Structure 1
Amino acid sequence: MADYAEITYAVDERVATITLNRPEARNGYTIRMSDELGAAMDRADRDEDVRVVVLTGEGKDFCVGADLSQGGFDFDPARGPDPEWQEPAGRCAKRVYTMNKPVIAALRGAAVGGGITITLPCDYRLASTDSKFGFVFTRRGIYPEGASAWFLPRLVGMGTALDWMISGRVFTADEALEKGLVHSVHEPDEVLNKAYELAREIIATTSPVSVAVTRQLLYRMASAETPFPVHALDSKLIGGLGTSPDAIEGVMSFLQKRPPEFGMRVDKDLPPYLPWLSE
């Protein structure tokens, strides 16, 4: 899917920018957009020239949620879906979750329903002063999607997740910042620039393999029943640092007071015993 109809994809200075591109519909979420987002995330994740992904929207809104005028399903509602069918927001959210590259969401205007749930697996969410958020499902007589009932409590705590999801109310960027949903708030015209600044810092200062492992460690192991399996995996990782070129470079660059030049690659240098590699 090199050509896209409802998103755009561009790479510059090792940053892939994926942009929702239906501004005439306030970037209303569709089946096609879902599948194109998944394909673009996959494309960025497999490209070793890409270090960071920035996810944003064209126009004044990030995404107002599902475009209800488009029907919302890729099956016959009278017959119901096949057992393997997956709802569209979750298709994108799961692909973001499995990324080896960090993903920064640059949000302005409305990010509501699927327009916010697809960003929950992102590593950073940067908002604008005009941002509005809402998990509005109960006000539409529908249910939370995008695996948001799993992601949201881990970001903001169960109490806040219950409030936002049960009430379905729309809330401001200030409340989102206070509760930990977003990392920072900026003027609307500055949000994307701030996302690129953050991306450039990550690229200049971190090891791509270390970032990939750390990102997945946090997601995959944070819900372990005890710390013991996490420590067992930590021990394997730390035990291999003596032969890790990036670890050696990280120490030497620190001692020599110079920027690091990490050479390991995500596509071939991830530790082979990571339990999630089979996915």
Structure 2
Amino acid sequence: MSEDLRDLVKYEARDGRAYITFCRDEKRNALTYEMFDRLMEHIERAERDDDVRVVIFRGEGRDFSTGHDLGQVGGAEYGFSKEPGARRPSQRIRLSFDKHHVEQFRQILYCTKPTLSLVQGYCVGAGLYIVEASDLAIAAEDAKIGHPEQKMGLAGASYMTSINILAMGPKKAREVLLLGETMNGIEAARIGLVNKAVPASELEAAGEDWAERIVRLPRDAIAIGKAATHLALDSLGMTSQFVHGYVMHALGTNIRYEPDENNFMKERRSKGVTGAAHSRENRYDGEAKEGK
């Protein structure tokens, strides 16, 4: 990867806050697996810094994050080879990779410091997983939030299914995941995916206001509060979602596509990432319009 990770995921600590910023605006802050590893390093850095009382996730430019970099998804991470006659990657390779990656979202959820996501523009796929794993989230009213990646073949097998159900209820969670539609920040606040929505011009100020309120709390009170939250989540069985999350993802990336079904990976080979994404959306949008 030619891009410098130090420039793609930046860290700044000041005034009791640790700012972790995604800086890949030309790719709408799509996150590579290397960027996720860098993100985890920054979270650990914030946890070690006693002066940090709150961790703030934000995106530089137009968007919070459009999720996983689709150029990486569904192949290289599992060791697929283009050599003639090469065998498919084993399930153990799939499970090992997915376990490592899904536990990164667990690390966000179980961060010892309070976490706050500030959401503008697109916040979809893995970008929304980060928001769902955060303690607090404020969205711009015109943000575009959802899980359209579920149309690629997962159809509701999200890493954060338990959080979705807890926040929205089982019916709404299934709707958001199964249909893969996006919503604005106002609707996301209404159904509990974020805490509140504000005009885009007020997003930074709203985040600073909440951060300042947290910073004024005693450090031990913050730590005890987070520990109590972790105990409560465990008592509700929330830890298990990170086991079923990686198992379901390993299965979901190994499904069989029938001739009349949309196969993103096949479309990507012939049309590229952008073309494949458009083909996917056109399929579902077209079918929805035909059904009206």
Q: Give the equivalent residue in structure 1 for 2:143.
A: 131
Residues 215, 156 of structure 1: alpha-carbon distance in 2 compared, 3 angstrom cutoff: farther
Rounded Cα–Cα distance in structure 2 between residues aligned with 1:160 and 1:167:
10
Q: Give the equivalent residue in structure 2 for 1:224.
A: 235
Q: Give the equivalent residue in structure 2 for 1:30.
A: 32
Rounded Cα–Cα distance in structure 2 between residues aligned with 1:105 and 1:46:
20
Correspondences of 1:17-166 after superposition (within 5 Å): 17-71=19-73, 73-77=76-80, 78-80=88-90, 81=93, 83-86=95-98, 90-142=102-154, 147-166=159-178
Contact 1:65 1:111 in 2 (8 A): yes
Contact 1:108 1:131 in 2 (8 A): yes
From the two aligned structures, give the one with the greater helix fraction: 2
Rounded Cα–Cα distance in structure 2 between residues aligned with 1:155 and 1:18:
25
> Per the alignment, in what secondary structure is the counterpart of residue 96 of structure 2?
coil
Q: Give the equivalent residue in structure 2 for 1:264.
A: none
Q: Give the equivalent residue in structure 2 for 1:188.
A: 200
Rounded Cα–Cα distance in structure 2 between residues aligned with 1:158 and 1:17:
33
Segments of 5+ residues of structure 1 without an aligned counterpart are 227-279
Segments of 5+ residues of structure 2 without an aligned counterpart are 81-87, 238-292
What is the one-letter code of the residue matched to 2:41?
Answer: A
CA RMSD, 1 decimal = 2.4
What is the one-letter code of the residue matched to 2:89?
Answer: R
Deviation at 1:118, TM superposition (A): 1.6
Rounded Cα–Cα distance in structure 1 between residues aligned with 2:149 and 2:94:
23
Contact 2:105 2:129 in 1 (8 A): yes
73-82 or 166-175, larger mean C-alpha shift:
73-82
Percentage identity across paired residues of the two chains = 25
TM-score (norm 2): 0.70
What is the one-letter code of the residue matched to 1:58?
Answer: E
Residues 142, 82 of structure 1: alpha-carbon distance in 2 compared, 3 angstrom cutoff: closer
Count of residue correspondences: 224
Rounded Cα–Cα distance in structure 2 between residues aligned with 1:196 and 1:93:
24
